[in-house]
Amino acid sequence: MGIISQEITVKEIAESLDKILKSKLLIDTDLWGQDKYNRNFLERDVNLKARHLLKLYIEIEENFGISIPEKDIVSGGFNTISNISAIILREMKNKTTR
């Protein structure tokens, strides 16, 4: 599929991540409420498993053509759709400037 665009926004990335969670991981993010993009994946009522996070990481690499830096995972940045969207946008911009 691959999402490559100079004009892509964090909102568009967040919507793409939401689709990935629904279609590839079979996670119904609509159950997370109106603020689903800011829900922490490790909250009790969200409670994504390690296998879901790993699959999401792989889907991000395949769909966006970037890799999430280890520092972002270790620091806890890989925990909401919004945070991951910002990381993806940053990495996409970094990739085009290299």
For the segment 7-55, what is each residue's pLDDT rounded down to a tens digit? 789 999 999 999 999 999 999 999 999 999 999 998 888 878 999 999 9
CA–CA distance, 86 with 12 (Å, rounded to integer): 11
Residue 42: closest CA among 78, 85, 13, 82: 78
Residue with tokens 């890989």: 78
pLDDT at position 3, please? Answer: 47
Query: Does the structure show a pLDDT above 70 at 96?
Result: yes
Percentage of residues of the chain with pLDDT beyond 70:
93
Instruction: Determine if the pTM surpasses 0.75.
Output: yes
